[in-house]
Amino acid sequence: MATSLRDRWRSLDVLIGGSFGWWREVSPPQLLVGSFLLLIVIGTLGLLVLPGLYTGERLGFLDALFTATSAVCITGLIVVDTATFFTFWGQLYLLVLIQLGGLGIMSIGTLLFVSLTGRQPIRYRLLTRETLGMPLSTDLGGLILRVVVLTLAIEAAGALALLLARLGDGPFTELLWWAVFHAVSGFCNAGIALQDGSLAPWAGDPAVLLTLAALILAGGLGFPVLLDLLRLQADDRDRRALHFHTRLVLAATAVLVLGGTGFLWLSEYDNALAELPAGLGILNALFHSVSARTAGFSTLPVAHFTYPSLFMLLLLMFIGGGPCSTAGGVKVTTAAVLVLEGAALVRRRWQTAAFGRRIPTRVLATAAAVVAVYAVVLVTGILLMLVLEAHGRPHAESGGYFMDTVFEAFSALGTVGLSTGLTGDLGEPARLVVVGLMLLGRVGPLALASLLLRGPAGPKIRYPESEVIVG
């Protein structure tokens, strides 16, 4: 009897486990980081060697690395014009990298592993808990299959809506490809567009902007929130309240989107939004408030925004979207629990709570650590870029270069993709710094949080307390 595929896979797994047993000791965060590094390497090599990807000259190694990292880490910073530099096959290649990066290559790998072997090792359960926020008892195959199906369903619905919004604007096949590409790029919060100027041609098209804003928000909420919302809608017999995590993400997202919209409109109604009617001005402010939190699409030149608006965009990029989502940043829940903790201290409350639920101390400590490490990485990246690109350049002669550099670093680490126009002008060493920021921004907060939430290690030695003056 012929050996089945599952039996052969199990034999291979045993062989690998026996010959390379060290791989079983790799922690889930290490697997997560390693998977993205591997995908970046594969993406870079593909851009260098695969035929038919370019309309003309090929990318060099550094530009290929930069482009692959931006696509895999769903950042959107780009050094060439995607529409004119790549053929259809090149654009499709980038879209595959974006999709794999958005879903998380380890989630797809887990699905394949479970499907082929029928086993669910504890390390993959831990990885699923840390990437998708689900308990260890969750069936991995069913969970990740739901995630993949949900992702494809949302992207398909978005592509259909974008196609209907643009019917009659050109050949059907071109419009279909445009709709599919932007639906995937939108839901994955990649922000890579198929035309120069991002979405500037559709600044006056509510159907296109609202569809993409909905895709960006859906991708930025996180799979635990989407699955929770789907559960509530799908089961009429189960009308329990949404999970605490879901309510916190939705509330924080609403505050950020509405607050950012109001601020951007008040700051730009007589500047960048001056030529648009009031309704379209508010719509474009809303779109940039949504996109700045991680997607990176724009309808207006960001370089033309005023400094207050740029600072607001920096804040939105720093915070990002929800955990276990396609978004970057420190995550809305991290910012929310720290705000709640500050409010509790100011009000002299003994616990930090919201919606009638107390937030554990370990979560508060983890949120503070994530922000601290994120800030250190951000400051280090900005400093390196300034040393590499602006050394010996006096402030009086640099114009807005400092803000351009800060904006680029925030955008890279937040995996956003917005730029004031600096990306293409960076030298090779500075581009490598941006590559590092994009990778750290994609996997860093998640890996750090998963390590910290495991609890303390080592001997439980309680040292005597000493007071420290802070503030």
* Integer Cα distance of 58 and 65 in angstroms: 13
The amino acid present at 250, given as its one-letter code, is L
Residues 176-218: tens digit of each pLDDT: 999 999 999 999 989 899 988 889 999 999 999 999 999 999 9
Residues 294-325: tens digit of each pLDDT: 888 999 999 899 999 999 999 999 999 888 78
* Integer Cα distance of 379 and 463 in angstroms: 32
Residue 362, CA distances (Å) to 129, 139, 298, 366, 393 in order: 17, 27, 38, 6, 45
pLDDT of 231 strictly over 80:
no
- Say which DSSP state 242 is in: P
Q: Specify the residue for token string 């990740």.
A: 144
Give 110's pLDDT tier (boundaries 50, 70, 90): low
Give 108's pLDDT tier (boundaries 50, 70, 90): low
CB 13 within 8 A of CB 23: no
Residue 297, classified by CB atoms within 10 Å of its CB into exposed (0-12), middle (13-18) or buried (19+), is buried
Give 15's pLDDT tier (boundaries 50, 70, 90): very low
Residues 56-98: tens digit of each pLDDT: 899 999 999 999 999 998 888 888 999 899 999 999 999 999 9
pLDDT of residue 192: 92
Q: What percent of the chain has pLDDT over 70?
A: 80
pLDDT of 10 strictly over 60:
no
Q: What pTM was estimated for this model as a whole?
A: 0.86
pLDDT of residue 97: 94
pLDDT of 266 strictly over 50:
yes
Q: Which residue has the higher pLDDT, 292 or 112?
A: 292
* Integer Cα distance of 19 and 58 in angstroms: 40
Q: Which residue has the higher pLDDT, 373 or 4?
A: 373
pLDDT of 16 strictly over 50:
no
CB 226 within 8 A of CB 218: yes
Q: Helices 122-132 & 140-166, crossing angle to 10 degrees? A: 40
Residues 368-426: tens digit of each pLDDT: 888 988 998 999 999 999 999 988 888 877 778 899 999 999 999 998 989 988 888 88
The tokens describing 22, both together, are 């060290």
**Phi/psi class of residue 329: alpha, beta or left (left: φ > 0; alpha: ψ in -120 to 50)?**
left
Q: Lowest-confidence range among 212-226, 248-262, 445-459? A: 445-459
* Integer Cα distance of 165 and 32 in angstroms: 38
Phi, psi of 153 (to 5 degrees): -65, -45
pLDDT of residue 207: 95
Closest CA to 68 of 94, 102, 104: 94
Give 350's pLDDT tier (boundaries 50, 70, 90): confident
* Integer Cα distance of 434 and 78 in angstroms: 11
pLDDT of 346 strictly over 70:
yes
Residue 94, CA distances (Å) to 193, 289, 349 in order: 11, 26, 50
Q: What is the mean pLDDT of residues 423-438?
A: 91
pLDDT of residue 146: 82
pLDDT of residue 132: 58
Residue 302, classified by CB atoms within 10 Å of its CB into exposed (0-12), middle (13-18) or buried (19+), is buried
| Per-domain residue ranges of the chain | 5-452
Q: What percent of the chain has pLDDT over 90?
A: 47
The tokens describing 291, both together, are 């996109």
Q: How far is CA 6 from the centre of its chain?
A: 34
Q: Which residue has the higher pLDDT, 443 or 382?
A: 382
Give 446's pLDDT tier (boundaries 50, 70, 90): low
Query: Average pLDDT, whole number, for the chain?
Result: 84
Q: Which residue has the higher pLDDT, 275 or 236?
A: 275
pLDDT of residue 12: 47
CB 188 within 8 A of CB 230: no
Q: Which residue has the higher pLDDT, 208 or 135?
A: 208
Q: Which residue has the higher pLDDT, 236 or 119?
A: 119
Q: How many CB atoms lie within 10 A of CB 154?
A: 19
Q: Specify the residue for token string 């808990």.
A: 129
